[in-house]
Structure 1
Amino acid sequence: MSLLKLENAIDRCLKEINVRDTINIPLGTASGYVLAENLSARRESPPFDLSAMDGYAFKHSPHINENHNLSLIGKSPAGTTFARKVKKGEAVKVYTGSVMPSGTDTVIIQENTKTNASDIILKKIPQKNENIRKKGFDFKTDDILIRKGTKLTPKHISLAASMNHTKLVVYSKPKIAIISNGDELVEPGSKDAQNKIISANNYGIKAYLEQLGANVTDFGIAKDNVKSLREKIKKAASHDIIVTIGGASAGDFDLVKESINRELELKFWKIAMRPGKPLIYGRLGEAHFLGLPGNPVSAHVCSQLFLKPMINKFMNFEDENLYITEAKLKTSLKENDERQDFIRGFYKDGFVTPHKVQDSSSLSVLNSSNVFIIREPNAPSKKIGEIVQILKIDF
């Protein structure tokens, strides 16, 4: 099977995906979901003219000058309504968020006043309507404030609550299963962790996919035999995507094929990219099957390039999947071969420095990188100061 171009491989995955059904969920659980309908305000905010400061509310007049006296007739704490209409020459003590008493239109901050028995003296005259939050200034009833297709964050949840919503219609999150594969793997903290390879990819990839909005279940480590891998995959059958980590390279793929040979509808295996060449994609019944390479950098790169857009499509989130920009090289690069290359690098102030070590097993280099330098197939060499494309690492 010939190597498939990266963009063609991504397209093949995405065309197989249908947007998930919508669900109606409590507002407090909606963060991370994608809104399935426009959200309009069920009230105006604020619902009354409110004081924006602690001070005194009064009726403004062009005849009021500095050192003018007003008669203090009471106070109006936030959440209450003052009992009577305020007349000219009178003032009411108000607080931030207090409903403006009837008959008043201006608030003078308390720092600009002096008190004298039951009077206040105005030391500095505010402008008319100063320190007032007018009724409906933030939003009005039926204003559409959050659009369909928005991925909800804490600020959206606060706004929706202020709009008087208790439930939201959203797209359900895709369910993703992760299965690690290899006799050499052990869990962190295991008694033989010093002599074997710690299974680390599943932890980072699970966290990344949850950050993107998916519901993720880690099914643990499958041994290098058909029975173990097949049992894990069978348990994960109800998930939207089944992700295996390891067992995708040339010799190991035979195990994966043998484990699910009858069920797997293979769409492609191996793509023209580095790292991440031995990627597997196919269908297992209704589930999407993605076999990631076992090398940590390869697995994480493929997660950003493939799983991110797959999750976005499931949730009908029309995000820009690849944040590609440009930077100037701080060191030269040699010409590239026939595979698209994602070189780990560090970007700062318009310049990018590729790391000297590009081994696909090095998590420490990946951790100290914030971008991938994208090298197209057969790209010519680049000199210091020349422009290259970069992709922000978002995991």
Structure 2
Amino acid sequence: MPPRYAIAASPAAIPVFTGRNTATRRALRQDGDVNETGLIGVGEHLSRILGSIEAGDSIRLPLDECLGLALGEAVVNSIPLPPFANSSMDGYAVKAADVQQLPAELVVSADIPAGAGAVEPLPRGTAARIMTGAPVPAGADAVIPVEWTDAGIHVVVINRRLSARTHVRDRGDDLPVGSVLGETGDVVDAGRIGLLASAGVAECRVYRRPRVAIFATGDELVEPGTPLGPGAIYNSNTHLMRALASADASVEAVETLPDDPVTALTALVEVAGNVDLLITMGGISAGAYEPIKQAFATSGDIDFYSVGMQPGKPQGFGFVGATPLLALPGNPLSSLVSFEIFVRPALRRLGGFSELHRQSVRLQLLNTQRRSLDRVRFLPAVADLFAGTVTTADRHGSHRSSTAAGTNCILELPAGPADARAGELVNARLLK
């Protein structure tokens, strides 16, 4: 459904939108979801987002093009794995009863390489030289590793006894016919591709990668490589967000917008119909130049909140026509944290994944950190999973790009009056 909007003739006027999912989004608002400080909870904001969006289209793709995508339907194998009884060792296929008296001397009646087609049954009282993965002949019920023999070619001397089915991988031993190889929403990772290929699956139905457009706002932003003028800073946000989003989405457009609400809104409208998610950074706080917030001030299609988190307090969510928009604060660290807490789960939902969130672990904090009285603090940190510890940077601030470089987790400190002391167990969201 195309967005409905009108841009007034006067450049001072603000276009008005009617989003398809506005009613759904507003239905998620609950009385009492704002605390006494005027902040909504992190979980409440995330629930509003995830409750308003759904997975996109699914398509059939060749297996090797499915890497990293989510299955669009369950996959069930139609053949047993392995498809025939085969040897797990290089050695000799035997009847276990023939090698109970040691040393056992058996005539070698056949050679069976991997890939052998029709295999003759094993004559009683003989052995067949066999390679790993080769079919075990009828009449044999065990495989003697070559290391347990004299490696004879015509006659073999066996020095150790064994029981039936030893070193034999039976038909269907891994997965019988009808086993589920993947559920709807499961990620197609390298291991699953190997499993699907072993079951003869050549293509899969998967959810399409969501398409995103990324916008930073600010008259002060210039691109890296350009000389800095008075009052200018380099635009790091679009580069940061592209790097973050690329793991779960196809980045279709990246643009830097001036501090003008009409220009910003026009740019969002032009691209909205071609993507599945709009991401903006900056322009939503309490200053005089907040183009994103001002652009939607009268339409009601984007809701702006103060969320109980630090950094990342100002947040926005709504729809431009039928396309969801996530409005993030503009400071680099705020943008990074907001992406991990809100945008990434939204991209995973749009991409059809059943698992939306990063893994969280409990680790021992090595350096004391201050808590906020009314907000959850999210701190980039370095986790040592072998030692079970986590360390945060010495200095924090939503503007500090240096804080995030080299980190591998985000520490989560719930609001409270007491500091998180060194030695305390804390929650950390792993980023890698």
Q: TM-score range by the shorter chain?
A: 0.7 to 0.9
Please tell me whether the aligned partners of residues 295 and 361 of structure 1 are also in contact (alpha carbons under 8 angstroms).
Answer: yes
Match of 1:192?
Answer: 227
What's 1:81 paired with? 117
Question: 1:353-392 deviations in whole A, cap 9, x for unaligned?
Answer: 4432011122322224444443444x11236357464231
For residue 183 of structure 1, what is the amino acid of its counterpart?
D
Pick from 306, 311, 318 the counterpart of residue 270 of structure 1. 306
Change (3 A) 1:57 1:356: same
SS in 2 for 1:282: strand
Matches within 5 A, 1:350-361: 350-361=388-399
- 1:216 to 2:251 alignment: yes
Greater Cα offset, 320-329 or 114-123: 320-329
Q: What is the identity percentage for the equivalent residue pairs of Structure 1 and Structure 2?
A: 26
Q: Answer yes or no: is the 8 Å Cα contact 1:328–1:384 preserved in 2.
A: no
Secondary structure at the residue paired with 1:304?
A: helix
Name which of 247, 267, 272 aligns with 1:232. Answer: 267
The equivalent of 1:9 in structure 2 is 45
Task: Write out per-residue CA displacement over residues 230-266 of structure 1, whole angstroms, 9 at most, x where no aligned residue.
Answer: 4532342121211112323323653224556676712
What do residues 91-149 of structure 1 show as CA deviations (whole Å, max 9, x unaligned)? 22211111112322222222222255622222333333222111110111112232233
Matches of 1:263 and 1:145, distance apart in 2: 47
Number of aligned positions between the proteins: 392
Aligned to 1:177: 213
What is aligned with 2:404? 366
1:1-395 aligned at under 5 Å gives the runs: 2-62=38-98, 64-115=100-151, 118-188=154-224, 190-192=225-227, 197-211=233-247, 213-225=248-260, 229-230=264-265, 232-238=267-273, 239-251=275-287, 254-257=290-293, 259=295, 265-319=301-355, 321=357, 323-334=359-370, 336-348=372-384, 349-377=387-415, 379-382=416-419, 384-385=421-422, 387=424, 389-394=426-431
On the 8 A contact 1:374/1:388 being kept in 2, the answer is no
Q: Is the 8 A contact 2:149 2:157 kept in 1?
A: yes
Compute the displacement of 1:162 (Å).
1.8
Is the Cα contact below 8 Å between 1:333 and 1:381 reproduced in 2? no
The 2-side partners of 1:65 and 1:316 are apart by 60
For residues 317 and 151 of structure 1, what CA distance do their matches in structure 2 show? 7
The residue identity in structure 1 corresponding to 2:284 is A
Q: Secondary structure at the match of 1:7?
A: helix
Q: Taking structure 1 as reference, are residues 376 and 93 closer, same or farther at Cα in structure 2, changes over 3 Å only?
A: closer
Residue type matched to 1:251 in 2?
G
The answer (yes or no) to whether the contact 1:264–1:284 under 8 Å persists in 2 is no
1:46: Cα distance to partner? 1.0
- Contact 2:277/2:325 (CA < 8 Å) preserved in 1? yes
> Contact conserved, 1:69 with 1:120, CA < 8 A, in 2?
yes
Q: Secondary structure at the match of 2:290?
A: helix
Aligned equivalents of 2:341 and 2:184: distance in 1? 25
Aligned letter for 2:396? Q
What is the alpha-carbon distance in structure 2 between the residues aligned to residue 338 and residue 110 of structure 1? 69
Structure 1 unaligned segments of length 5 or more: list them.
none
Residues 264 and 283 in structure 1, CA contact (< 8 A), matched pair in contact too: no
Q: TM-score, normalised by structure 2?
A: 0.80
List gaps (5 residues or longer) in structure 2: 1-33
